Structure 1
């Protein structure tokens, strides 16, 4: 048995991911992420065992692990988005290719390509799911900007790029010096650990107030061709929001407005799309930006962030992005211009 520094790195990553996975397993919506971390931990463990010859040479299981990452990542995203996702019995079929690959591990190159194809397939499904989630939240929540999931797409893209790099490394090992091969292998493992850490951090800091979309598939309120009858309905909704300053509620939803106006969510959504020509989220945020501008003019001593939170925004980053989108300038620039004008 020969233990090298690369094997110590594998043991370190395995221990860290196993610990994080066990901790996260207590949170229902993050159990798929916990399973992903534990899978990565076991993968590192078997890598170390195979490379140090602690397992018989005839036993080779690590190639099949690549066929599990895509499905688990997709399931994690589903459980993060939906309040009530499928039970584990419904997701078992996603792991059948990995089980089939176990006895075929000697065809390592073929399985590695299959794993890359699996990542691409599940990556496309994940991007599609996140796109539908963004459309749903923009249509039903005023805080949609603060609960966007672009970070998931970015992390998945990082894993996909790492998979391609690792595939190139595997297929060109014979052309590399032992030192270069070891360094590239260590770089891939370290990058994988960093991406896992980023995934865990962003998942646990996802806003707790967002409990997930209802149902298993997002269903935005059906949009129809604007009807002239929607105009007076929109004016009624608009007047109610202004009179009660509903837009200042940080997590205002379409359901909240429908309840106050004694209308259905579908009616409110259709009226806003017809009357304002924009999504519910953009419509409410336009009110907030207008309030912020008025308060910046009237209260020069108040901080911009305090004013933003008072107007109903929930985070600094989403406020800055929305304000610039609506006004064309940053909040600080708006205040400076207003000061110069006065």
Structure 2
């Protein structure tokens, strides 16, 4: 009963969330794709609800419609990630939908079965008089494992796109608070966990069926495998995903990292600077000049400073400025600027012991207290408060 309640709440909340995403901004492609992704989740939960509640007895012709829907889920999520992370991301390519259409075509013979045959397939022994046994067995296994392979591929592709986005962001911006997608990375990890539960559930079912049909398999040695399933945890996880999407998805603007003409694109490490006219010696000299300029003019105090801004101020191209910093300092533009900010903040913390940490952080070029604390701990190993305390104790010992 509790499982049915969870499934019902998940379906209702998913429908409400998809409606809110579309209503919030009808011109936002990312929101529309996220709404479609959530609707696919809702459809799958709804079919599980029909199965768990026994409602398929009353609507047997809906049996089997959940399999093709699974092939829509991963491409929709991948496209959502793409629309958030790139202004030049291509329109949704029809080839991403090819597995879905193939699944529908392959399922047509099953859809044409009578209600009794479909019911037998779901609750009986895969027997259907109008279709050969090999087709029904193929239908049962290929759909499941094909979907699992597809989802795994898109999860990896989504993770790679987010990782590339992080690298591009750090190479072009000095503040990431408004453009970071850490919540989406955490969501992707959770989706990967749900995938693991799905895989485990299918493995349990395969072993249970092997034991029941042939008397072989792990399930015969561990009785609980036959009776126990991890559906509940998967369903609960999907509902939690809905709530995460509610909180973050509705608040997430469609991020366009400026225009491509102002951004240094991502390049694999092996291909970086291969065709650059800037030698390592010239890059080191340029980096020295840039560092002096940033410190003398205190450009790092601008919380919205970008690589494009620094290139304009120095009179050099973005690519040369980026190369000079990356090669000579072995850090990204983000780390280069924030290290200077932290160094400035260290001096301010000691020079003005009565000033609040928030005031020092804002005066040092940080947009927020949390960003300042994160950067300070990252580069010094201690918090601002601990840094002040350590130097106060040192001064007392020396006095």
TM-score w.r.t. length of structure 1 = 0.85
2:19 to 19, 22, 27: 22
Q: How many residues align?
A: 334
The Cα offsets for residues 31-73 of structure 1, whole Å up to 9 and x where unpaired, read as 2212111221222233334541242247411122322222122
**1:135 has 2:172 as partner:** no
CA contact (8 A) 1:166 1:188 kept: yes
2:98 to 96, 103, 113: 96
Residue 389 of structure 2 is matched in structure 1 by 336
* Structure of greater Rg: 2
What is the distance in 1 between the residues matched to 2:159 and 2:379? Answer: 27
1:282 to 335, 342, 348: 335
Shift of 1:16: 0.9
Shift of 1:294: 0.9
Matches within 5 A, 1:146-165: 147-165=179-197
Matches within 5 A, 1:162-177: 162-172=194-204
The Cα offsets for residues 311-338 of structure 1, whole Å up to 9 and x where unpaired, read as 1223444433322232232222211102
**1:120 has 2:176 as partner:** no
Ranges in structure 1 where 5+ consecutive residues have no aligned partner: none
**1:211 has 2:213 as partner:** no
Residue 55 of structure 2 is matched in structure 1 by 52
**1:304 has 2:357 as partner:** yes
Of stretches 144-153 and 127-136 in structure 1, the one that deviates more from structure 2 is 144-153
How big is the alpha-carbon RMSD for the aligned residues of Structure 1 and Structure 2?
3.0
**1:196 has 2:228 as partner:** no
Shift of 1:231: 4.1
Of stretches 246-255 and 258-267 in structure 1, the one that deviates more from structure 2 is 258-267
Shift of 1:273: 2.9
What is the distance in 2 between the residues matched to 1:321 and 1:99? Answer: 47
The Cα offsets for residues 56-109 of structure 1, whole Å up to 9 and x where unpaired, read as 247411122322222122111111101242223x2x221221222234375233
Shift of 1:250: 1.7
Residue 344 of structure 2 is matched in structure 1 by 291
What is the distance in 2 between the residues matched to 1:315 and 1:64? Answer: 46
Residue 32 of structure 2 is matched in structure 1 by 31
Structure 1 residues 237 and 162, CA gap change in structure 2 (3 angstroms): same
Q: Give the SS at the match of 2:280.
A: coil
Residue 43 of structure 1 is matched in structure 2 by 44
1:264 to 293, 301, 317: 317
Q: Give the SS at the match of 1:229.
A: helix
Q: Give the SS at the match of 1:195.
A: helix
Shift of 1:136: 1.2
Structure 1 residues 237 and 171, CA gap change in structure 2 (3 angstroms): closer
Ranges in structure 2 where 5+ consecutive residues have no aligned partner: 111-135, 209-222
Structure 1 residues 315 and 62, CA gap change in structure 2 (3 angstroms): farther
CA contact (8 A) 1:11 1:48 kept: yes
Q: Give the SS at the match of 1:228.
A: helix
CA contact (8 A) 1:234 1:272 kept: yes
